């Protein structure tokens, strides 16, 4: 067994690998870029750490020479790549071998065979594994892709031949969408994987995404560890995964498992891998090979929960040349496990559509859930900064129960107990998704989230949120001490009815809300948006391990909020959701009204400008595409707010921009006449 292993990754997967290394008594080495810090959680968890370059992944985490040099400098005998970055890079696996360092993963030849989706389909098809009808040529031009689409027939799915994770995938339903879809898919594939080769597959309608975890050693032993259901996706990105699937019978599981084992044998696979299938919900006996991920998967904890196996430990033992300690007959599935991915993103309804935007910022307060059957894999810490350089996934919450219902209940409770203040997350969206009747019943398909997404995104602002913020502000304004002058109390003192203190509370993603409060914070009345006054009271307290707590009784309901102040912004959290609230000043409100007729186009997130589709002086119409900004491997298209002329164009391809940076100004046509 190895003495020292370097982890060529960051965040939660690096922390998770280090946990197993420590349990096995193996020295761990972390690497970090300038986009992280020397006290980042994965760096702090390791026995040693090496800085490998600037924030840009291409110059650090994707730099093969830098990673190899770090391994040599620290005496690492093996490198665990985690997932993403170099985990499925054939050149990196070969470079490790050339340097005399063990790559904790499959042989370079297996990565190459399965990393190219076109070649992978041909390889497994020869082994008798069913594949989805589609193009089988490599390096197709746009015109050749169009011909392939014509042969397959709509609807189709465009997929990058290199890479995975849903990035660059586009569903196309009619000919008019094809050209833009090809251009967009190539651009995202090139940016994510350095390769814009695309393939075409028949789009299976109402499909379920089911994958089989396999493990293989260097002595010819291959076993499967059951399946994971990954059908709950948004834009082909997995959100919630579970094991086992609610769809499959034991016989169907055995058939798919056997097919996955044959796919692995077809390329001489060793280590951990995942064979992904599309399964028809109406006919689970019919399944098609999609691809093989030649690495550990993000969702591997649900398999660990139901099998009791440590997949990272098995990876390390296989890489060290040991035989698998289990046979297929030893694999038993116990209970049910479900995982939810927490992303740095916010969702809102814009023009009737749900829009998700990456977020970032300093983590002001953090509380991760605990309890029976709960596991959290996290790569963040209070005080850390979440930037736009890397993937937006912050943590994973995993719940294990005796059955699916218990696992769902435990996961929902755990998400409700999660507190992360300082940036937006998708935790509230996850809870809404788990509460969906079809999700609870196990009636899943990969299009479910897309169909329900506007209902799942909470668009209305609960009245209690601006009230809690106003009460928090009121408490801070009130005098303290043994003697209180009545004239120092907010609202003053008068004979008769008390005066109200008025706030225009601005909550991100919502219109300003007027809140009137009269009385003291511990015993007051409040009115929201002109509604009648209702009793309200608040108490602030804190404990040594949790964010500050604010108990507010509004009407007949008492709620506990976790709070954190960031300058003029107050962050409030309850039930897994968080809101950024600040008081809107009168002059700001006036400017907001004026800007409705046009004005600056702002970047909604920190990121990089990838495309500029207009020039200064161009006439544009409302809704016309202006600029594309990419952050955390996601693209966001900015459009013209009104009919007008582009002025002060500041966006340039490749330029990094901050949140709310002015990218252009659109001067309204009526203002010019």
The residue-averaged pLDDT of 101-128 equals 91
273 pLDDT more than 70 = yes
Whole-number Å distance between alpha carbons of 642 and 598: 6
460 pLDDT more than 90 = no
Whole-number Å distance between alpha carbons of 524 and 281: 55
Residues facing residue 572 across a β-bridge: 563, 579
574 pLDDT more than 70 = yes
The residue-averaged pLDDT of 465-473 equals 91
Place of tokens 């197709």: 140
Q: Which pLDDT score, from 0 to 100, does residue 543 have?
A: 53
Q: Which pLDDT score, from 0 to 100, does residue 608 have?
A: 85
Please report the sign of the dihedral spanned by the C-alpha atoms of residue 165, residue 168, residue 174, residue 177: positive
Q: Which residue has the higher pLDDT, 196 or 271?
A: 271
Distance of CA 166 to the CA centre of its chain: 12
Whole-number Å distance between alpha carbons of 673 and 666: 14
- The tally of CA atoms less than 13 A away on the side-chain side of residue 389 is 20
Residues 6+ apart with CB under 8 A from 250: none
Q: Which residue has the higher pLDDT, 164 or 626?
A: 626
Which H or E element spans position 174? none
The residue-averaged pLDDT of 581-591 equals 67
71-85, 356-370, 474-488: range with highest mean pLDDT: 71-85
Give the pLDDT band of residue 633 (cuts 50, 70, 90): low
Between CA 310 and CA 418, with CA 410 as vertex, the angle to 5 degrees is: 90
Q: For the segment 328-344, what is each residue's pLDDT rounded down to a tens digit? A: 999 999 999 999 999 99
Structure tokens at 187: 């651009």
CB 324 within 8 A of CB 221: yes
The residue-averaged pLDDT of 642-647 equals 90
Whole-number Å distance between alpha carbons of 61 and 32: 8
Residue 290, CA distances (Å) to 107, 445, 516 in order: 21, 15, 57
Q: Which residue has the higher pLDDT, 477 or 457?
A: 457
485 pLDDT more than 60 = no
Q: Which pLDDT score, from 0 to 100, does residue 519 have?
A: 83
Which H or E element spans position 294? none
Give which of 258, 287, 139, 275 is closest to 211, Cα–Cα: 275
Which H or E element spans position 292? strand 283-293
Give the pLDDT band of residue 656 (cuts 50, 70, 90): confident
Which H or E element spans position 279? strand 271-280
For the chain, what is the mean pLDDT?
89
- Domains along the sequence of the chain with CATH: 4-104 (3.40.50.20), 105-132+207-334 (3.30.470.20), 135-202 (3.30.1490.20), 341-456 (3.30.470.20), 464-480+498-584 (3.30.700.30), 594-672 (2.40.50.100)
660 pLDDT more than 80 = no
Q: Which pLDDT score, from 0 to 100, does residue 231 have?
A: 96
Give which of 116, 117, 62, 56 is closest to 86, Cα–Cα: 62
Place of tokens 């397959």: 152
Q: Which pLDDT score, from 0 to 100, does residue 599 have?
A: 73
CB 24 within 8 A of CB 316: yes
Residues facing residue 58 across a β-bridge: none
190 pLDDT more than 80 = yes
How is residue 434 annotated by DSSP?
H
Q: For the segment 394-404, what is each residue's pLDDT rounded down to a tens digit? A: 999 999 999 99
Phi, psi (rounded to 5 degrees) for 486: -60, -30
Task: Give all strands (DSSP E) within 256-407, no chain letters.
Answer: 271-280, 283-293, 336-343, 345-350, 353-358, 361-362, 365-367, 374-378, 385-386, 393-401
Place of tokens 């989706």: 117
Distance of CA 269 to the CA centre of its chain: 29
566 pLDDT more than 70 = yes
Q: Which pLDDT score, from 0 to 100, does residue 347 have?
A: 84
The residue-averaged pLDDT of 178-188 equals 93
Pair type for strands 271-280 and 283-293: antiparallel
pTM of the model: 0.83
Buried b vs exposed e over 197-230: b needs ≥16 C-beta within 10 Å?
A: bbbbbbbbeebbbbbbbbbbbbeeebbbbbbbbb
466: exposed, middle or buried (Cβ count in 10 Å: 0-12, 13-18, 19+): buried
Scanning 462-544, the segments in alpha helix (DSSP H) are 464-477
Place of tokens 């046509």: 669
CB 244 within 8 A of CB 333: yes
591 pLDDT more than 90 = no
Give the pLDDT band of residue 538 (cuts 50, 70, 90): confident
Whole-number Å distance between alpha carbons of 85 and 67: 11
The residue-averaged pLDDT of 166-173 equals 87
Q: For the segment 211-242, what is each residue's pLDDT rounded down to a tens digit? A: 999 999 999 999 999 999 999 999 888 999 99
Phi/psi region, residue 473 (left: phi>0; alpha: psi -120 to 50; beta: rest), is alpha
Q: Which pLDDT score, from 0 to 100, does residue 634 have?
A: 66
Structure tokens at 239: 């959100």
């Amino acid at each position: 067994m190895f003495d020292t292993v370097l982890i060529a990754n960051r965040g939660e997967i690096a922390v998770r690998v280090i946990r197993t290394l420590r349990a096995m008594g193996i020295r761990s080495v972390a690497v970090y870029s300038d986009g992280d810090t020397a006290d980042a959680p994965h760096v702090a968890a390791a026995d040693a750490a090496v800085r490998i370059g600037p924030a840009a992944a291409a110059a650090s985490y994707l730099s093969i020479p830098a990673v190899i040099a770090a391994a040599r400098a620290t005496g690492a005998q093996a490198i665990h790549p985690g997932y993403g970055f170099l985990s499925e890079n054939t050149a990196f696996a070969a470079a490790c071998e050339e340097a005399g360092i063990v790559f904790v993963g499959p042989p370079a030849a297996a990565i190459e065979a399965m990393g190219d989706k076109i070649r992978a389909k041909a390889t497994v098809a020869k082994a008798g594994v069913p594949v989805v009808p589609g193009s089988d040529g490599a390096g197709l031009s746009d015109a050749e892709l169009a011909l392939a689409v014509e042969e397959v027939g709509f609807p189709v799915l465009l997929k990058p031949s290199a890479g995975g994770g849903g990035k660059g995938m586009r569903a196309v339903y009619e000919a008019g969408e094809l050209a833009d879809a090809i251009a967009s898919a190539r651009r995202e594939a090139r940016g994510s994987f350095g390769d814009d080769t695309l393939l075409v597959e028949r789009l299976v309608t109402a499909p379920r995404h089911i994958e089989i975890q396999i493990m293989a050693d260097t002595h010819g032993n291959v076993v499967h560890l059951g399946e994971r259901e990954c059908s709950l996706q948004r834009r082909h990105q997995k959100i919630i995964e579970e094991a086992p699937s609610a769809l499959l019978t034991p016989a169907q599981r055995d058939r798919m498992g056997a097919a996955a084992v044959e796919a692995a044998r077809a390329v001489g696979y060793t280590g951990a891998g995942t064979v992904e299938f599309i399964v028809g919900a109406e006919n689970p006996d019919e399944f098609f090979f999609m691809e093989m991920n030649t690495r550990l998967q993000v969702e591997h904890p649900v398999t660990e929960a139901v099998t009791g196996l440590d997949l990272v430990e098995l990876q390390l033992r296989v890489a060290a040349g040991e035989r698998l300690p289990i046979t297929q007959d030893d694999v038993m599935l116990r209970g049910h496990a479900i995982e939810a991915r927490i992303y740095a993103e916010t969702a809102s309804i814009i023009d009737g559509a749900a829009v998700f935007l990456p977020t970032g910022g300093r983590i002001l307060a953090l509380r991760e859930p605990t309890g029976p059957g709960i596991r959290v894999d996290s790569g963040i810490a209070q005080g850390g900064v979440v930037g736009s350089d890397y993937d937006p996934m912050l943590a994973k919450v995993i719940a294990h129960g005796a059955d699916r219902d218990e696992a769902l209940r435990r996961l929902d409770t755990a998400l409700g107990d999660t507190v992360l203040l300082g940036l937006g997350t998708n935790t509230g969206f996850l809870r809404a998704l788990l509460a969906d009747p079809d999700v609870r019943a196990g009636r899943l398909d990969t299009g479910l989230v897309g169909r329900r997404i506007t209902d799942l995104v909470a668009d209305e602002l609960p009245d209690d949120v601006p009230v809690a913020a106003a009460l928090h502000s009121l408490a801070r304004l009130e005098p303290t001490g043994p003697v209180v002058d009545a004239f120092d109390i907010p609202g003053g003192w008068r004979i008769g009815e008390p005066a109200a203190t008025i706030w225009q509370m601005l909550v991100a993603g919502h219109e300003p809300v007027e809140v009137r409060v009269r009385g003291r914070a511990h015993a007051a009345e409040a009115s929201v948006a002109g509604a009648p006054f209702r009793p309200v009271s608040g108490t602030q307290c804190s404990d040594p391990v949790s964010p500050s707590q604010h108990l507010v009784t509004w009407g007949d309901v008492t709620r506990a909020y976790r709070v954190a102040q960031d300058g003029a912004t107050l962050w409030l959290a309850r039930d897994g959701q968080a809101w950024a609230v600040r008081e809107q000043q009168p002059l700001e409100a006036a400017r907001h009204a004026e800007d409705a007729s046009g004005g600056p186009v702002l970047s909604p997130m920190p990121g990089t400008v990838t495309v500029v589709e207009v020039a200064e002086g161009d006439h544009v119409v409302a809704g016309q595409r202006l600029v594309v900004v990419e952050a955390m491997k996601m693209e966001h298209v900015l459009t013209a707010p009104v009919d007008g002329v582009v002025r002060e164009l500041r966006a340039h391809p490749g330029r990094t921009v901050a949140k709310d940076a002015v990218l252009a100004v659109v001067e309204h046509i009526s203002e010019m006449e």
